[in-house]
Structure 1
Amino acid sequence: MSTTIRLEPLTAEAFAPFGDVLDTSGAPDKMINAGLCGRYHDRATLDFSDGKAGISLFDAQVRTLPLTLDMMERHPEGSQAFLPMSHTSFVVIVAPDAGGKPGQPRAFVTTAGQGINFHRGTWHGVLTPIHAPGLFAVVDRIGSGANLDEYWFDTPFTIGGTT
């Protein structure tokens, strides 16, 4: 039997232990392009042990709720940012570290226009779009060496419903 985890709205305060929320909340830091574009400056902290920042494109299959969470992963050598390339929401699953494995997972649902940046070493679920298309720009570490830890749960969790 699995434990059900309810979806929470994604807010900067709730997500702060795991990473950065990337959105256009508040006033722009400055106006550019002859006053026609608001710049929301430096919204994420990129953190890499070595290597360089790279931009990749991920095209993920759309998922439906409820979801089964049986595995989480983390990237010990670098942060990882997910920027949706459409104006749709997606599910973000994270957990604190509990002695080298994921602790109690939390699940967030973004609003259209939000992206996220996982801090280096944050346990997270896989990319989970819930609306088509599932196209994302991803900014993460490009470098040599292993940068992926996976943890498979003995008893999976069910992700569904909202708080």
Structure 2
Amino acid sequence: MSRFDITAQPLTAHAFAPFGDVLDCAGDPDKIINAGLCGRYHDRARLDFSDGRAGISLFKAQPRSLPYTLDLLERHPDGSQCFVPMSEHPFLITVAPDQNGKPGHPQAFLTAPGQAVNIHRNTWHGVLTPLHAPGLFAVIDRIGDGANLEEAHLDTSFAVSLG
């Protein structure tokens, strides 16, 4: 198996737009609520499901080390998937464009504290990759009948590191 290097870039809404939404509190809030004590950053992600309903699950993933070996990508054809960390630690996100039903060349992003991501429906992405314990996330995704998972084991692995 061949191996290539990928350098994770900082997560920005512009760079991540082809794959999903970045959820953060950038800019001014859309509304001030709760007697002026809370800023609401409204409608930051588009949840998209073919059927079923939105559900909130908790994931507790083991932290990974860098360089991280990326050799498996997955996608969910029936719904988007939103990962909200329940700590201030950064986590690694790997994604790839679709090329004729298979993952194209992957990209890697590193979140900043306070960022979450919503990965668009049918977008190739790596498994949940926290870099620090506890690795606890709230995940908002499709709950419904049928298999909503397609996995692709990569012929070439990628070593993901920070720049």
TM over 0.5: yes
Residue 4 (structure 1) aligns with: 5
Amino acid at match of 2:133: A
Of all paired residues, the percent bearing the same amino acid is 67
Residue 15 (structure 2) aligns with: 14
1:7-156 equivalences under 5 Å are: 7-156=8-157
Residue 159 (structure 2) aligns with: 158
Cα distance in structure 1, aligned partners of 2:53 and 2:143: 5
Q: SS of the counterpart of 1:154?
A: strand
Cα distance in structure 1, aligned partners of 2:56 and 2:90: 21
Uncovered stretches (5+) of structure 2, i.e. residues with no partner: none
Amino acid at match of 1:26: G
The TM-score with structure 1 as length reference comes to 0.98
Cα deviations across residues 59-80 of structure 1 (Å, max 9, x unaligned)? 0101110000111000000000
Amino acid at match of 2:21: D
The TM-score with structure 2 as length reference comes to 0.98
Cα distance in structure 2, aligned partners of 1:158 and 1:38: 40
When the two chains are superposed, the root-mean-square deviation of aligned CA atoms in Å is 0.6
Cα distance in structure 1, aligned partners of 2:147 and 2:96: 21
